[in-house]
Amino acid sequence: MSTLADEVIIVTGASRGLGRSMVERFSEEGARVVLTARDEALMEEVASGLPGESLVVPADVRDADAVANVVEETVDAFGRIDTLVNNAGVSILGMQDSRKFLQDVTEEEWDTVLEVNLKGVFLFTHEVLPHMYERERGNVINISSGLGRAAVGGAGPYVSSKWGLEGLTRVTAMEGEKFDVNANALDPGGMVNTDIWAHLPEEERQQILQPDVMDDAAVLLAAQGPDGVSGESMDAVGWEERLG
């Protein structure tokens, strides 16, 4: 039997990069995958190549009504939610191909990064937890970054969002403990060849981590039962060593 046979997994930021790779791997492992992002056409393209059942529900993670709709359509289609992967994320570097020091960051740029990377995670977690609590099982996987535990100049909004995400992950784990719901943070462990680094020369992009870097760890985390590890944050290699 496949590792994730019949599991229902929502993945945000599912249209490209790390999200797309996890979606494809989850499907290969037998999961029924719900893809959500803003680009419906791109998600439909991804879904058309999946071996198992899937559902495409477009949404901006910053829109509470749209998020609630994703969760509602998931439950209507598949009856439950086993795992939520909060993967959607942006950075000023990804949007503008350059870092920005705090005095140059606009309010709009700050709000965009914090709302996608942190508010979006809250909104999806807020909608999904009641369904997981009712069944007394589930996994929340928050995609973090090494910059959720460290800092670098020129990345203030992103660093702030990921430090916030690390704290939110721990709170989610603490509150979920009595309902047997696990919450953990997973990060790639380095630079990944995604849109954030699109400005790099192709040769350099091939030398950094590739989008499938977290797939094995994500499967291990999604496969955890009620007695699983919770409230931890590690990179992909760390999780593979912990759970593999």
Q: What is the mean pLDDT of the chain?
A: 94
Interval 129-149 mean pLDDT: 97
pTM: 0.94
pLDDT tens for 146-199 read 999 999 999 999 999 999 999 999 999 999 999 999 999 999 988 776 666 566
Cβ(209)–Cβ(190) under 8 Å?
yes
The answer to the question of residue 206 being in a domain is yes
The answer to the question of residue 192 being in a domain is yes
Say which of 26, 158, 163, 239 is annotated catalytic: 158
The answer to the question of residue 186 being in a domain is yes
The answer to the question of residue 15 being in a domain is yes
The answer to the question of residue 3 being in a domain is no
Q: Which of 35, 69, 72, 79 is nearest to 55 (CA)?
A: 35
The answer to the question of residue 92 being in a domain is yes
HSE-up of 138 (CA within 13 Å, CB side)? 28
Residues whose CB falls within 8 Å of the CB of residue 139, separated by 6 or more in sequence, listed in order: 82, 83, 84, 181, 182, 183, 184, 221, 222, 224, 228
pLDDT tens for 75-126 read 999 999 999 999 999 998 878 778 899 999 999 999 999 999 999 999 999 9
- What's the domain count of the chain? 1
The answer to the question of residue 63 being in a domain is yes
Q: Can 158 be counted among the known catalytic residues? A: yes
Q: Which domain, by its residues, includes 195?
A: 8-243
Q: Report the C-alpha dihedral over residues 47, 29, 53, 180, rounded to 10 degrees.
A: -110
Read off the CATH number of the domain in which 68 is found. 3.40.50.720
Whole-angstrom Cα distance, residue 235 to residue 25? 18
